[in-house]
Chain A
Amino acid sequence: MSEISQVPVLDVENLVVAFDNNKVLDNLSFAVQKGDVVAIVGPNGAGKSVLFRAILGLVPYSGKIKWASGLKISYVPQRFNVEKDFPLTVKEFLQLKSKNYANIISTLESVGLNTKEQDQHHFEHHFLNQRMGWLSGGQLQRVLVAWAILDSPDVLLFDEPTTGIDVGGEETIYNLLKKLNNEIKLTVLIISHDLNIVYKYASSVLCINKKKLCFGHPTEVLDPQALVKLYGGETGFYKHEH
């Protein structure tokens, strides 16, 4: 990251979110630049999802949240699960966001779901016209990424994209987000549980447990002391030396 090319995307200052006088987020400040991949980590109940909802304006807050003007923001909420018997096909789901069928197909290609070699008829029948609820965990995540980037957003907010996916699938979703980040300068804010992934893909990490505990480049700020502070000393997780 060179200092000269920094374009501010989001500025959060002294953010406080309280439900029934119970502070869920306290005095949180951080800034995001264009093209950043910011991983948000913290224990369960640390307020990570609430932080997303606050910066999207979905919950009342005090403090300052300032987005650069004219940004297109895409959001994939936590536990976005379509029930097995919900009658909605993959095609219909994506068409809720974009009416442009060619765009849908090319977006599915870019998330690795529609490889050219595949028989189109087979793809239509077994994937596009398939119920959302019948997709595997990995397929669903890819469809959600496709949904999120369909209208070419500037910023992507992704809440725990890897819940319920095997490690192989997990890696590729991050590879994909990283690729999109490189190709279209997509700014990504991602809530993650897997610190390995954070070290590998994030340009900065924000650790929170109601308050901000660290913010900066993962290898610089996520040292054993910080992890003990964040997770209460129970984690046996240390960074990998590559």
Chain B
Amino acid sequence: MSHQIILQLTVAILIGIGAGYLGSFMVLKRMSLVGDALSHVALPGIALALLWGFNPFFGAFAALFFATVGIWALERKTELPSDALVGIFFTLSLAIGLLITPEPELLETLFGDISSVDKVDLLITVISVTGIIFLISYINRGLVISTLSKDLAKSMNISVNKINFIFLILVSLIVALGLKVAGTLLTGALVIIPAAAAKNISESISRYTVLASVFGALSSVGGIWLAKLFSIPAGPSIVLAGGVIFLFTLVFKRY
């Protein structure tokens, strides 16, 4: 195996683990499609990074950070429901992004390109995924209780707002990372599919979150292998590999 392949696999596996783990909580919180919408919001950030010549991750994360904080604040200040807000941010960002993304990079931005990762990407990924796992285990208890019942959590002096804020920031972080793998159109799948598959065959939350991470990693390995085998882009094939795992777990689902 060449050096570049090992680099690609490492980055994709780590992102798969992070996306699966975080995605497991997003699915429980009924936020599955938030990841999908947010990945579109990143487009103008990536475009500006490409135009000004810095790492697209930072552009994407900056755009996601502002959008997330904006939605979080607007939701608290106005009566607009968050799905409407996400919908507005999402379509406006996509429109702006499509206009300013340089033509040659458009395809890579839309579908991702793991084959172009470098050591800086690896470093960013290692730090981010470690941070995500560490922070989620820190807020894990409050996150589960507030998912079960907001009132219950508040009555136990759990600061639900703080937990939700940390969670949203982590969601933007994993989406920013995932863009390298699956692009603005498919990144949502990285957080939804492994978690949905794990949910089919888990009774306990510990098994569920671990399996979601494992399935995320397996999708990355399977997808990259398929991409090399058939000379197809890795992003879509990673998503498809996740889909195969999902179908497989469906067979073992207990009703």
Q: Select the residue from A85, A86, A88 with max chain B CB neighbours within 10 A.
A: A88
* Interchain CA distance A170-B149 in the complex, whole Å: 23
| A228 lies within 8 A of chain B by Cβ | no
Please tell me if the beta carbons of A87 and B204 are within 8 angstroms of each other in the complex.
yes
Residues of chain A within 8 A (CB-CB) of B105 are none
Residue of B nearest to A77 (CB): B151
Which one, B141, B144, B152, B199, contacts A85 given CB within 8 A?
A: B199
Please tell me if the beta carbons of B141 and A89 are within 8 angstroms of each other in the complex.
no
Q: How far is the CB of A153 from chain B (nearest CB, A)?
A: 11
Please tell me if the beta carbons of B203 and A80 are within 8 angstroms of each other in the complex.
no
Residue of A nearest to B211 (CB): A87
Please tell me if the beta carbons of B148 and A131 are within 8 angstroms of each other in the complex.
no
Please tell me if the beta carbons of A75 and B144 are within 8 angstroms of each other in the complex.
no
Which one, A77, A87, A96, contacts B207 given CB within 8 A?
A: A87
Residue of A nearest to B155 (CB): A75
Q: A85-B199, A96-B141 are in contact. Are A129 and B204 (CB under 8 A)?
A: yes
Residues of chain A within 8 A (CB-CB) of B208 are 87
**Which positions 159-211 of chain B face chain A at CB distance < 8 Å?**
198-199, 202-208
| A114 lies within 8 A of chain B by Cβ | no
**Which positions 118-157 of chain B face chain A at CB distance < 8 Å?**
141, 144-145, 148-149, 151-152, 154-155
| B28 lies within 8 A of chain A by Cβ | yes
**Which positions 60-101 of chain A face chain B at CB distance < 8 Å?**
73, 75-77, 80, 82, 85-89, 91-92, 96
Please tell me if the beta carbons of A130 and B149 are within 8 angstroms of each other in the complex.
no
Please tell me if the beta carbons of B151 and A88 are within 8 angstroms of each other in the complex.
no
* Interchain CA distance A129-B204 in the complex, whole Å: 7
Residues of chain B within 8 A (CB-CB) of A96 are 141, 144-145
* Interchain CA distance A87-B205 in the complex, whole Å: 5
Classify chain A: how many residues form its interface, as a range.
Answer: 20 to 34
Please tell me if the beta carbons of B154 and A87 are within 8 angstroms of each other in the complex.
no
Residues of chain A within 8 A (CB-CB) of B148 are 80, 82, 86, 88
Q: How far is the CB of A157 from chain B (nearest CB, A)?
A: 8
Q: Select the residue from B145, B205, B207, B208 with max chain A CB neighbours within 10 A.
A: B205
Which one, A58, A88, A130, A131, contacts B144 given CB within 8 A?
A: A88
Residues of chain B within 8 A (CB-CB) of A73 are 155
Please tell me if the beta carbons of A58 and B199 are within 8 angstroms of each other in the complex.
no
Q: A56-B155, A73-B155, A96-B141 are in contact. Are A88 and B149 (CB under 8 A)?
A: no
Please tell me if the beta carbons of A88 and B145 are within 8 angstroms of each other in the complex.
no
Q: How far is the CB of A83 from chain B (nearest CB, A)?
A: 9
Residues of chain B within 8 A (CB-CB) of A131 are 203-204
| A53 lies within 8 A of chain B by Cβ | yes
Residues of chain B within 8 A (CB-CB) of A53 are 151
Q: Select the residue from B28, B141, B152, B199 with max chain A CB neighbours within 10 A.
A: B152
Residues of chain A within 8 A (CB-CB) of B155 are 56, 58, 73, 75, 77
Residues of chain B within 8 A (CB-CB) of A92 are 204-206
Residues of chain A within 8 A (CB-CB) of B204 are 87-89, 91-92, 129, 131
Q: Known contacts A77-B151, A87-B203, A130-B203; can you find 11 more A-B pairs with CB under 8 A?
A: A53-B151, A56-B154, A58-B154, A73-B155, A75-B155, A76-B152, A77-B149, A86-B148, A91-B204, A92-B204, A96-B145
Q: Can you list 29 A-B pairs, Cβ within 8 angstroms, ordered by A?
A: A58-B151, A58-B154, A58-B155, A75-B151, A75-B152, A75-B155, A76-B152, A77-B151, A77-B152, A80-B148, A80-B149, A82-B148, A87-B199, A87-B204, A87-B205, A87-B208, A88-B144, A88-B205, A89-B203, A89-B204, A92-B204, A92-B205, A92-B206, A96-B144, A96-B145, A129-B203, A129-B204, A131-B203, A131-B204
| A contact residues vs B (CB 8 Å cutoff) | 53, 56, 58, 73, 75-77, 80, 82, 85-89, 91-92, 96, 129-131
| B contact residues vs A (CB 8 Å cutoff) | 28, 141, 144-145, 148-149, 151-152, 154-155, 198-199, 202-208
Q: List the 4 closest pairs (A to B, CB-CB), nearest first.
A: A87-B208, A75-B155, A87-B202, A89-B204
